[in-house]
Amino acid sequence: MASSSVPQGRPETERPQVLLLSPPSAELDEVLSARFELLKSWESPLPLDRFLATHAADVRALLVINLFTVDGALLDALPTLRFVCTTSAGVNHIDLAECARRGIAVANAGTVFSQEVAEYAVGLLIDVLRRVSACDRYVRRGLWPRGGDYPLGSKLGGKRVGIVGLGSIGSEVAKRLQAFGCPISYFSRSRKPQFPYTYFPSVADLAAQSDVLVVACALTHETHHIINKDVMAALGKEGIIINVGRGALVDEAELVKRLMRGEIGGAGLDVFEHEPAVPEELFGVDNVVLSPHVAMQAFESSSDLSRLTAANLEAFFSDRPLLTPVPLPA
């Protein structure tokens, strides 16, 4: 890891500076403010380019809140930067190749959100199958007295679930769905013999043998639109897609088209390809559950994230190994 020694001219007792380009939560702000000098771009009267230029000679650590893009242009403006810490588990918003080329270490949220996201994925699946949100709308609109019983949904138990990406989130999803009596299969970059699930070497083969696909892999160039028209066709018109990874893992236009035609049984979507824009065609569809990218957000995980973020920053400034380093391309 690149050295994080205090720049010449700065007293050793001075708190290390951390650059932020978007506001953190109140809890994270409080935790970090006690240990670091936070440079908050949004509080400055200067435009961002001038704010960055003002601090370019000193900033060695950047804290990325949510999915703020870290690309070559931003890194060019911060020539002394040596560490990027993001509060998300995914890192598709960070140009890892550029970070590697410049000797910049990267850390993420690790597995802090894994259980929360897994729970949310199961919740979305139950909602789609049992039509919980649709039933709620039916009652609230006063339709029950006039329309009678709402159409039946499907049970979760026994559904064949295929998980795309058996990492920390996917394995937690599998563990929970096993308790419902769901046979579990998966696609991952490689077979994972530590898990007692059926492995498929292609997503289309996995879809052909599944009633449900839960998408939980990282977004990379290779996984962009990994759920494409061939996979959707293999899943079939009764199949369900749950996406708690990133929106661009699914060919959103193709999914919308198939949902409108009745060629997919339903979907539970916490993420979208062009957030916060959501295809309006889905707003009136009762077999689709929509959620504003909140699967990882729970009260309990907020404190864990704050502690982990502070610990990663302290490790960097103390030249100790990062707690949740992100592997960089060679």
Residue 8 included in any domain: no
Catalytic sites, residue numbers: 246, 275, 293
Tally of domains within the chain: 2
**pLDDT at residue 55, rounded to an integer:** 95
The model's pLDDT over 284-329, given as tens digits with 9 standing for 90+, comes to 999 999 999 999 988 888 899 999 999 999 999 999 999 999 999 9
Are 95 and 235 in the same domain? no
Residues 259 and 198 in one domain: yes
Based on the domain organization, do 140 and 177 belong to the same domain?
A: yes
Tell me if 10 is assigned to some domain: no
pTM for this predicted structure? 0.89
Cross-strand bridge partners of residue 144: none
State whether 192 and 80 are in the same domain. Answer: no
Whether 239 is covered by a domain: the verdict is yes
Helix (H) or strand (E) holding 57: none
| Residue 157: inside a domain | yes
Long-range contacts of 101-106 (CB under 8 A, 24+ apart): 102/75, 103/2, 104/2, 104/75, 105/1, 105/2, 105/316, 105/322, 105/325, 105/328, 106/325, 106/326, 106/328
Same structural domain, 137 and 48: no
Are both 148 and 36 inside the same structural domain?
A: no
Give the DSSP per-residue string, 66-95: TT--B-HHHHHT-TT--EEEESSS--TTB-
* Residue 244: inside a domain: yes
Residue environment code for 130-166, b if the CB has 16+ CB neighbours within 10 A, otherwise e: ebebbbeebeeeeeeeeeeeeeebbebeebebbbbbb
Of residues 301 and 6, more confidently modeled:
301
| Residue 12 domain flag | no
What range defines the domain where residue 54 resides? 17-111+300-317
Domain holding 230: CATH number?
A: 3.40.50.720
Looking at the structure, tell me whether residues 282 and 154 fall in a common domain: yes
pLDDT tens digits, one per residue of 208-253:
999 999 999 999 999 999 999 999 999 999 999 999 999 999 999 9
Length of the chain, in residues: 330
Whether residue 329 is contained in a domain is answered as no
Other CB atoms within 10 Å distance of the CB of residue 15: 13
Take residue 167 and report the two structure tokens written for it.
């990492």
Same domain, 105 and 122: no
Residues 140 and 267 in one domain: yes
Q: Looking at the structure, do residues 72 and 149 belong to the same domain, yes or no?
A: no
Q: Is residue 183 part of a domain?
A: yes
